[in-house]
Every structure is written in C-alpha cells, then in structure tokens.
Amino acid sequence: MFNEINGAKIDIPNKYLDFVRVLDANGINSYFVGGCVRDYLVGVEYNDFDIFCKCTKEYFKSKIKGLRYVEDFKNVLIVENGNYEIYAISFTKDFEGDFKSRDITINSIYYNWKNETIFGFLKSFQDLKDKRISPCNKEVFIYDSFKILRSIRFSNKLNFDFDFELKYIENMDLKDIDTEFSAYRILNEVLKHDEKILSIYGLTNKIIKKMNEFEIYI
C-alpha cells in the first residue's frame, strides 16, 4: 500500500529541522508533507514545509510548551515559535487518517527527515506520475470551496489534468464560506491564483460577490 524512495535529500531549512528535533526529543514522530515533497519530486523550487505529527493535537499540546497558537483547527495547528517563525502542523494517529483529511493526493506524500525517505500511498505516486489532480476524499472535496480552489491552482502550476468532473468547479457556489475567517482564508488562496484561470471557470464574479458579503473588496 505504501511506496518508498530512499536517499531523498530534500533541503529543509534549519529552523524547521530544529523544530522537528525538539518534537522528536519529546517523543513525537513528525514528518514533512505536502508542498516541499511534491515539488522536490517534480523538480521545481519548493518553499512550503508543512509538518505532520503522528499523534493527537491534544497530546502535542501536552508535550510542547512555549508556542503561540495562531490558529487552532480541528486537526491542524498554526503555531508561532518566537521571532515570527510560523509552522503549520496536522495531527492524526495514523497516515490513512491524515491522507483522508488532505485536499489532493499529490499533496499527501511524506518525508521522513531522520532517514531521508519519501513515502506515501501508491495512489499519490501514481497520480504524480500520471499528472493527475485527484481528491483524497471526494465526498468532502466536492463541498469544500477552499480545496477545489487549491486543486485549480496546482493544476495550473504543474500543468496536471483533473481526475474529477469539472461540474464540481463550475457549480461551486461558495455556500460553505459562512464566516469572516473563512472568507479571508478564501481570499488568501485566491490571491495566489492567475485571475485568467478563475475567469475561465466562471469563478471571478462569484468570488467577488461572496467577498462583498463580508465587506471585503478585491
């Protein structure tokens, strides 16, 4: 079920390595996941260093002190560790649970920094090889505007094809954006996009209208 690549030397900045070493010293197994692993494998520059901890969020909080919790989601923490050093950390007790919580399969490949091994589910590697954008959990994905927008961005960035029906993009109504926080989260994602691509899918006016509901003007 897993695929492995040994001897992978992803260039992890020291501040992230220092952080995961502290986690390791406190008995927390941590791995890098997502952007840096994906982009390393496709041979493009990488600068996203998200962390997955194989434990519960509550256990993490009980073991690691001195952090400021910037955002606290169900299974994700955004923390600050002094000097504006920000880390995005996800938590589940197993890799399958983490995989199902993520947006697309190619963002669900892990890096074991201790033994320089890249690993993950076969589906993730196959989609990377076939240049496909596939949801990790389609039942959740089709109702999540943020995840759909991210899939559009990565399809455009990597020139990958969608492995789901385009109607999920075309019919996106942004009804799940129901708080000011979720609106700003969408805005931050939209600002990373090529506006022309959003227009192709008829999303520009929808997004502007939704932002205006929260008095956020693009």
Say whether pLDDT at 218 is over 80: no
Same domain, 150 and 105: no
The pLDDT, as a whole number, for residue 2 is 80
Say whether pLDDT at 105 is over 80: yes
Pair of tokens at residue 152: 């559009």
Cβ-count burial of 168 within 10 angstroms (0-12 exposed, 13-18 middle, 19+ buried)? middle
Residue 53 placed within a domain? yes
Number of domains in the chain: 2
If DSSP codes are grouped into helix, strand and coil, which group holds residue 110?
strand
Say whether pLDDT at 129 is over 90: yes
Same domain, 110 and 179: no
Beta strands 117-121 and 110-112: pairing type? antiparallel
Residue 184 placed within a domain? yes
pLDDT above 90 as % of the chain: 80
Compute how many other C-beta atoms are within 10 angstroms of the C-beta atom of residue 77: 21
Same domain, 120 and 149: no
Same domain, 116 and 141: no
Nearest to 125 by CA among 134, 138, 112: 134
Using the 3D structure, point to which of 70, 105, 127 is the last residue of a domain.
127
Same domain, 122 and 196: no
Per DSSP, helices labelled H in the chain are 14-25, 35-42, 57-63, 95-101, 122-130, 138-141, 145-158, 167-170, 180-190, 195-200, 204-213
Same domain, 207 and 153: yes
Q: How is residue 135 annotated by DSSP?
A: B
The pLDDT, as a whole number, for residue 1 is 60
Using the 3D structure, point to which of 127, 150, 172 is the last residue of a domain.
127
The pLDDT, as a whole number, for residue 11 is 95
Residue 66 placed within a domain? yes
Q: In which domain, by residue range, is 106 found? A: 2-127
Mean pLDDT along residues 104-128? 96
pLDDT tens for residues 167-185? 999 889 999 999 998 899 8
Using the 3D structure, point to which of 83, 101, 127 is the last residue of a domain.
127
Residue 218 placed within a domain? no
pLDDT tens for residues 47-87? 889 999 999 999 999 999 989 998 888 889 999 988 788 99
Same domain, 108 and 8: yes
Taking the model in full, what pTM does it have? 0.89
Q: How is residue 84 annotated by DSSP?
A: T
The pLDDT, as a whole number, for residue 3 is 86
Same domain, 53 and 89: yes
Residue 68 placed within a domain? yes
Same domain, 123 and 187: no
Residue 78 placed within a domain? yes
Residue 132 placed within a domain? no
CATH number of the domain where residue 70 is located: 3.30.460.10
Say whether pLDDT at 200 is over 80: yes
164 alpha carbon, distance to own chain's centre: 19
Residue 146 placed within a domain? yes
Mean pLDDT along residues 120-134? 96
Could you tell me if residue 48 is left (phi over 0), alpha (psi between -120 and 50 degrees) or otherwise beta?
Answer: beta
Same domain, 60 and 100: yes
The pLDDT, as a whole number, for residue 27 is 95
Same domain, 122 and 141: no
